[in-house]
Amino acid sequence: MIDFDPYSIEFHNDPYPVYKQLRDEAPVYFHAPLNIYAISRYADVVEAHRDNETYSSAGGVTIEGTEAGGASLITKDIPEHRWHKALVTKVFTRERMGAMEPFVRELCVKLLEKAAEKDEFDFVNDFAVQLPLSVISELIGIPEEFRHDIHYFANMMLARGEVDPAQIYKAQKASDATYAELIRYRRAHPRDDVITLLMNTELEDDQGVVRLLTDEELAARFLELAVAGHETVSKAIPNGAVAMQRFPSERQKLLDDPSLFAGAVEEILRFDPPSQLQGRTAARDVTLHGVTIPKGYRTMLLTGAATRDERKFEAPDVFDVARDNDMVSIYFGYGIHRCLGIHLARLEIRVAFQELLSRFPDFEVFPDRATRVVLSNVRGMSSLPCRAGARTYM
């Protein structure tokens, strides 16, 4: 019997033994109570990402699929997806993200120095949330006074389990109003940021019409960038800190050889990916490993299981910062929905650990006292006590 309950706190505390059982015993698993299928082996997950005609995103990308029919890029299929993605990709370039590095570094230093003034600080709220939230806010132009609400709305919308659906609905409404207000504000006060650029970039749409984004479309881009731009990074950084603590030799390798930081980012994301699953809907009957997923059934691509697949990775449960990188980097998705924020996410995580380790090489986190969040497809913590320890003077 496989006890796969994606909403239980026990599962969120350590989903990896269940994932192994799924890969070994039921690579295409039917979860009767939730009426969903789950695919867990690396090769199958990659193939499902690639085959976006068979595995549609239009039914939503979480287990529940409640976001289906919304304006987000992530829930659009071809052809609609193509235009919207091309437009944001035009603005979200590697060069533009690379230019953020000095800002990201300065912010990291400021946050870490301030946090370390306390004997014990909260690694999540004092550092890992503040960093990506400020970076994405700067990039897309969210004024300071809106930022707290944006983080609150994002968490409410992704929350599952204990949270009252009425509260989620209220947060959604408040969030819509906030974004409408932000767009009015930005039209009146244009500046050199991603949203102003999006407002002024014309592209030929699916109907062959060259046009600008409407206010409604802009609000959708705003919301998805604000949410996607900080939720995952703020989970990835604490996941990485815990991994470094569990595997001290890897922390030491980074201290000895700073050229390993870029690879360490990939290993953090492989070892404990913040985005644990991508939901799809079968657009036709598909037979895999002798199981037929009937057309119309919700099917989860278990990224968290795929990145620990021993068929692909040697000793997958070992955190190894010098591991040969997985070139597909499936933790960022693959195919048409591949993450838009890859360059930014990699930059933020790399700089966060460079600055943390170069200042506080002996930092200590206390996962036993952490609070874990049960979000539909995101794995991470909402608080993690940390002691900075002795400082290195540079």
Tell me the C-alpha to C-alpha distance, in Å, between residue 359 and each of 5, 108, 115, 254, 266.
Answer: 40, 11, 12, 13, 22
- Rounded Cα distance between 231 and 381, Å, is 11
* Shortest Å distance, C-beta 105 to ligand HEM: 16
Specify the residue, 116 or 384, whose C-beta has the smaller distance to ligand HEM.
384
Specify the residue, 71 or 387, whose C-beta has the smaller distance to ligand HEM.
71
* Shortest Å distance, C-beta 340 to ligand HEM: 4
Tell me the C-alpha to C-alpha distance, in Å, between residue 314 and each of 12, 55, 114, 310, 320.
Answer: 24, 29, 40, 6, 10
Cα–Cα nearest to 366, from 132, 120, 17, 112: 120
* Shortest Å distance, C-beta 120 to ligand HEM: 26
Cα–Cα nearest to 275, from 250, 300, 298: 300
SS3 call for 384: coil
| Sequential DSSP letters for 286-330 | EEETTEEE-TT-EEEE-HHHHTT-TTTSSSTTS--TTSPP-TT-G
- Rounded Cα distance between 5 and 273, Å, is 18
- Rounded Cα distance between 137 and 225, Å, is 9
Specify the residue, 226 or 388, whose C-beta has the smaller distance to ligand HEM.
226
* Shortest Å distance, C-beta 61 to ligand HEM: 4
Specify the residue, 15 or 274, whose C-beta has the smaller distance to ligand HEM.
274
Specify the residue, 233 or 373, whose C-beta has the smaller distance to ligand HEM.
233
* Angle (deg, nearest 10), helices 130-140 and 101-115: 150
Question: How does strand 210-211 pair with strand 371-374?
Answer: unpaired
Backbone angles phi, psi at 98, to 5 degrees: -60, -35
Residues of this chain that bind ligand HEM (CB under 6 A): 57, 61, 73-74, 85, 136, 224-225, 228-229, 232-233, 236, 269, 273-275, 278, 331-333, 337, 339-341, 344-345
Question: How does strand 298-301 pair with strand 291-293?
Answer: unpaired
* Shortest Å distance, C-beta 52 to ligand HEM: 9
* Shortest Å distance, C-beta 25 to ligand HEM: 25
Specify the residue, 131 or 286, whose C-beta has the smaller distance to ligand HEM.
131
Tokens matching residue 272: 């404990």
Specify the residue, 159 or 223, whose C-beta has the smaller distance to ligand HEM.
223
Four-residue CA torsion sign, 224, 384, 278, 34:
negative
* Shortest Å distance, C-beta 182 to ligand HEM: 16
* Shortest Å distance, C-beta 256 to ligand HEM: 25
Backbone angles phi, psi at 10, to 5 degrees: -60, -40
* Shortest Å distance, C-beta 63 to ligand HEM: 13
- Which uninterrupted H or E stretch holds 266? helix 261-271
131-141 as b/e: b if 16+ CB within 10 A: bbbbbbbbbbb
* Shortest Å distance, C-beta 315 to ligand HEM: 22
Specify the residue, 75 or 178, whose C-beta has the smaller distance to ligand HEM.
75
Minimal CB distance residue for ligand HEM: 341
SS3 call for 358: helix
Residue with the two structure tokens 């050229």: 259
Specify the residue, 9 or 78, whose C-beta has the smaller distance to ligand HEM.
78
- Rounded Cα distance between 35 and 20, Å, is 21
